[in-house]
Amino acid sequence: MNRVRADEEEYWHSSKFRAFTFDDEDDELSQLKESKRAVNSLRDIVDDDDDDLERVSWSGEPVGSISWSIKETASGSTTSLDGRDSSLQKGSSSYAALPKQVSSYSLSSLFKGGCESRFLCAAHLCLSLSALTDTGVKNYAPELRRPKAEYKDYSSDWSPKETVRRMQRGKVCSLERFRSLQDKLVLLDEAVAGHDGNVITAVLIFLKRTLRREILFRELEVRQVALCHLIHFLRETGEQKFLLDLLRFLDRTEEVALSQYREHLNIQDIEKRREFLKGCIGLPFSAEDTSHIQDHYTLLERQIIIEANDRHLETAGQSELFRKHPRKASILNMPLVTTLFYSCFYHYTEAEGMFSSPTNLKKTFKIPDKQYVLTALAARAKLRAWGDVDALLTTKNWLGYTKKKAPIGFHRVVEILQRNNAPVQVLQEYVRLVEDVETRLNLATKYKCHGVVIETYRDLKDRIQLTAYKSKVERGSAEEEKINSILSNMVRNAY
């Protein structure tokens, strides 16, 4: 026994090995390696010859026997581990009897790469050593503890500046230690100075939870950066009541009104939404915003009326237009331009006194001519109603003369008609009305309006381009004969 204790003292106090301590100088990995090296050295103290120890299985049968092989093969890894734990608890207190009653392997084999030791992690090592009752064996490999560094993020007395710096690096820091108002405000100022939006938001959430609203609002009023972060956060998270209280404290009446108006998006019932919008008209908006709210309410009223009538016509099958072109969606809650397109598509010929009439919508909501023509043209072209397109673009002056006029430009008219597969004859009529010569030639060439190209080159008296364009038309066609006639006239006029 004296020899064993002398060996212990020599082991722990020799310069080759270092005793386990809980000082947090190294990380967990280095301490684990040190503990493994300490246990590896036990084979020199316990026994000089591992081969003299008889190795048995956890069930007590000699390793290598037929019955041991069958049982080890049939048992799963989970059952095997459970068996080891129960056997460890039944082991003798004397380490001399350890090989037969506690484990099938000597302690030195735990880290020598044996077939079972490959599956033993540091946690199993701690469990096995703690099960031994002999105090001498426990001293060889003390139980591993969690390094103190893991607790520093929670328990250390970090200053506000250090706390913000650690949060910027992604470290987990507890803010609960900042209890006084002064400390919390210093922490917020440091977060703002760090220019990290995530850190600022995290600190604001902490202050929102730990300060009374009046105090928080008063301090944020003089910290505009933090205030903007909090307002954006409240809008993103949908904390409407808290946001309204903050805006009222700041006397931002228009923002309060807009925030309340935004609540209509969460109302699904159409009648309740209409009543809510009606109540929003009296909120303290600016003059321009009040006009928009009024238009929104009026538009929704119109949509409700149009939707009810059209659903009845579609269900009853009384309208040929609805039979040929069934509606793809409800008109409710659609924008004004979409409503106008719908009206031009299904109710284009209705009188102005009808709520669903396009001209009624144009007059009620003061839709500009350019927007109206663009929308109506797209709707009528989609129905291939070329007569309506012609009437839409024809105007009459005070003398009774008519002419074509397009507020959006005839080049855009041609593009819209071509997208809706307008015939060449219709396209040519509007390509001729494009004023810019180069644009007219490009459109005529692109959409194969040969007559417009020939007429333009004729007006330009460009024989070279006419001769070149002759190769692009069919032989024997009317276009080729027209080009030949123009070229002949040019030759005669030259002489």
User: 303-353: per-residue pLDDT in tens?
Assistant: 999 999 999 998 888 788 999 999 988 999 999 999 999 999 999 999 998
Query: What pTM value is reported for the model?
Result: 0.60
Query: What backbone torsions phi and psi does residue 221 show, to the nearest 5 degrees?
Result: -60, -30
* 297 closest CA partner among 343, 350, 261, 342: 261
Q: Which residues of 73-105 are buried (b: 16+ CB within 10 A; e: fewer)?
A: eeeeeeeeeeebeebbeebeeebeebbeebbbb
Average pLDDT over residues 449-464: 90
| The predicted structure's pLDDT at residue 188 | 94
Cβ neighbours, 10 Å, residue 428: 20
Q: Determine the Cα–Cα distance for residues 449 and 446; give it in Å rounded to an integer.
A: 8
Return the pLDDT at 76.
46
Please give the average per-residue pLDDT across 348-363, as a whole number.
Answer: 93
Q: Where do the structural domains in the chain lie, given as residue ranges?
A: 160-251, 268-367, 383-447, 449-494
Stated length of the chain: 495
**11 falls in which pLDDT band (50, 70, 90)?**
low
Q: Is 54 left (phi over 0), alpha (psi -120 to 50) or beta?
A: beta
pLDDT above 70 coverage of the chain, percent: 68
pLDDT class for 378, splitting at 50, 70, 90?
A: very high
Give per-residue pLDDT as tens, 159-204.
888 899 989 988 888 888 898 999 999 999 999 999 999 999 999 9
Mean of the pLDDT values across residues 361-380? 95
Describe the chain by its helix, strand, coil percentages, rounded to 5: 65, 0, 35
The whole-angstrom separation of Cα 21 and Cα 23 is: 5
pLDDT of residue 73: 45
Q: In a 3-state reduction of DSSP, which class is residue 396?
A: strand
Helix (H) / strand (E) containing 56: none
For 460-474, write each residue's pLDDT tens digit.
Answer: 888 889 889 888 888
- Mean pLDDT of the 92-113 span: 40
pLDDT at 410: 95
Structure tokens belonging to residue 221: 């009023």
Of 402, 421, 412, 468, the closest CA to residue 443 belongs to 412
pLDDT at res. 299: 96
Predicted local confidence at residue 272, as pLDDT: 94
Give helix 213-220 / helix 224-237 axis angle, nearest 10°.
130
Report the alpha-carbon distance of residue 490 to residue 493 in Å, rounded: 5
Helix ranges (H only) for 221-269 are: 224-237, 240-249, 253-261
Report the range out of 27-31, 136-140, 293-297 with the highest average pLDDT: 293-297
- The 10s digit of each residue's pLDDT in 217-261 is 999 999 999 999 999 999 899 898 899 899 989 988 888 888 889
